[in-house]
A and B are shown apart, each in its own frame.
Chain A
Amino acid sequence: MNELVSAVPWLGKRNPMAARWLIIILALAAPIIAWQFGRSWVRILDFALLYMMLALGLNLVVGFAGLLDLGYIAFYAVGAYTFAFLASPHFDVHLPFWIVLPLGAAFAALAGIMLGFPVLRLRGDYLAIVTLGFGEIIRIFMLNLNYPVNITNGPQGINMIDPINLFGWDLSRNLQVTETFSINSLFLYYYFFLLCVAGSILFIQRLQISRVGRAWAAMRDDELAAKAIGINTRNMKLLAFSLGATFGGVAGALFGAFQGFVSPESFSLMESIAVLTMVVFGGMGNIAGAIVGAFVLALLPEILRDVAVPLQQTLFGTVILDPEVLRMLLLSLAMILMMLLRPSGMIPARARYAHAENMKREGAQ
């Protein structure tokens, strides 16, 4: 939270308290503002929150531990498919949300460890390619495991996944407050996801300024020196992979339940790259960067879609660049230009050192 506060332009440094309240109010009011532009914008905000969770998780692996993972979306897929298997008519199993969600997280973590073990000794760029391969293998299995036994239902994906149900409270139904006033399901999802993101931020921040976070940072800066001061780099890498994967798995399970439908198409390499771009765009190794990157890059293509498509219609009479192309163009350019012009991201990882002040006070007692 402190990092986010100090990332607020101008106000963050002058009046952190005001900046903090500004963030909280904006976060709470966002869907209400978005509603004014149409309900699809609330839905887009919901997805933006899921991307934030993904970016936070990937940032843990790439930014904190320095392990470039290009197959991160595979863990999202594991979470989503776990949810789809255990809470849909596909196998006719309907386990409750509070059981499926941890299972999704656990399977994703397991997948993280399974990926982690063989690739532990690889250097940065090799690691990237192998994780990419891992992501593709998972996708190939999702696409083809409908034969000879139908497990994943192939390219069609799995339909009619149970919605999120919090102890009998179904988030997919509008909440009827009074006779005339009801809260749309999209809002319910928004606030629930917001809570999840807030929880993720809290956890990740605690990790970052802990014994484990320091070990990751040490390993990222100089692996040999990290070993020389007694850090078990193998375990620390596995931990980073599995924790990062856990966030992916949780986000995936939420995604499956929210969308009610999963198919291999949602877990393409492009999605891994998109999440990576969010992390890179915001600034590797810092929480505020991941949040801002995810927010901007999840929303921008949608805004472009709204603006650019009609604009092309009026200018050229036809749509030359469809929204999907625009999104790819934006992401790839963002990635290249950020690396060339501002490799530490929009919000460089500086704010982190602020916490040392707090520690000093505590430590001096």
Chain B
Amino acid sequence: METLIQQLINGLVIGSVYALIALGYTMVYGILGLINFAHGDVLMVGALTALQTMMFLMGVAPGMSPVYMLTIALMVAIPVCITLGFLMERLAYRRLRNAPRLAPLITAIGMSFLLQTVAMILWGRNYHTFPQLISTTPMQPIEGVFITPVQVIIIAASAAIMIGLSLLVTRTRIGRAMRATAENHRVASLMGVDTNAVIAFTFVVGAALAAVAGVMYASNYGIAHYGMGFMPGLKAFTAAVLGGIGNLGGAMLGGIMLGLVESFGAGYIEHLTFGFLNSSYQDIFAFIILGLVLIFKPTGLLGERVSDRA
């Protein structure tokens, strides 16, 4: 029983992070039909920028309280990622809106590897220890079940951000413009929506979420390096597809579910395969789920119809 609850908590924590990243994928896909492959690497840039900031702060103001330090790190990482997202859209994706269908995706893949390479140049190949400013001493709310303050904060912050984003999309003027653009570019622009601005805004919001997710991810595992964005990016994409790509609620649901499946899967795979496979196979769950969803329910759990323009 304790293990079960423990897996549940672990799944929720990592699932919240996936959900935040998945939101970025799903918003961009909903509006442009583009899988922004480089989204996971924006997360990596966020984490490493935050790391760099903290190192700097520790140098100049060693006595600074961890909360301030983390806030400042975020305040630096978010604008950096926003700029990055904006530039990617402006310099590359925007020029490819009417290109043959494989071109934007190939560009996005190139972008992903470019970001990783540049990060490798700036920060080297090594794994960096990410300062765990918030206590990682486990608490025991129930006998035998552990949860760290970092994990509590991750779950709470993700929930708050998701609520905020939902309000943004459903209640505000720019949110309405986003939904209109997602529905139909041309019509939206005929109705006076500045679709270029809306698309740029979408990238910016997605990048900001990725920055936050990056800091969470690095804080949770205590590690950051140039390739750290790839796997969570891919898994978050899976989460977005699982929930129904283009659908915000779906991304959140998909993220949490994927986190849970992974956590339970890793915990029980050894029993299930009679010891043949062990938890080093954890990463294949996401791919298997992705395959299954796309084959049996390509619209995802909450997705609408996928138009095939017959």
| Contacts from A to B (Cβ < 8 Å) | 62, 66, 68, 70, 118-119, 121-126, 128-130, 132-134, 136-137, 140, 143-144, 147-148, 224, 270, 273, 276-277, 280, 284, 320-321, 325, 328-329, 331-336, 339-340, 343
Contact = CB atoms under 8 A, between A and B. Distances in A.
B310 A224 contact: yes
Contacts of B275: 148
B121 A325 contact: yes
A272 to B, nearest CB: 10
Contacts of B171: none
B120 A325 contact: yes
A138 to B, nearest CB: 10
For the complex, would chain A's binding face be called helix, strand, loop or mixed by DSSP majority?
A: helix
A140 B281 contact: yes
Interface of B: 34-35, 92, 95-96, 99-107, 109-114, 116-118, 120-121, 234, 237, 241, 275-278, 280-281, 283-284, 286-288, 290-291, 294-295, 298, 306, 308, 310
Contacts of A332: 110-114, 117
B95 A340 contact: yes
Contact of B287 (A122, A136, A277, A328): A136
Nearest to B292: A118
Contact of B278 (A147, A336, A340, A343): A147
Contact of A130 (B99, B277, B290): B290
Contacts of B109: 70, 273, 276, 335
Nearest to A128: B105
Contacts of B92: 336, 340
Contacts of A70: 109
Of listed A126, A144, A284, A331, residue having the most chain B CB within 10 A: A126
Contacts of B103: 339, 343
Contacts of B110: 277, 331-336, 339
Contacts of B294: 119, 122, 126, 130
A129 B114 contact: no
B99 A339 contact: yes
Given A270-B113, A329-B121, A331-B113, 4 more contacts: A125-B35, A144-B281, A224-B310, A343-B99
A339 B106 contact: yes
A133 B234 CA distance: 9
Contacts of A339: 96, 99, 103-104, 106-107, 110
Given A143-B280, A336-B111, A340-B92, A124 B117 contact: no
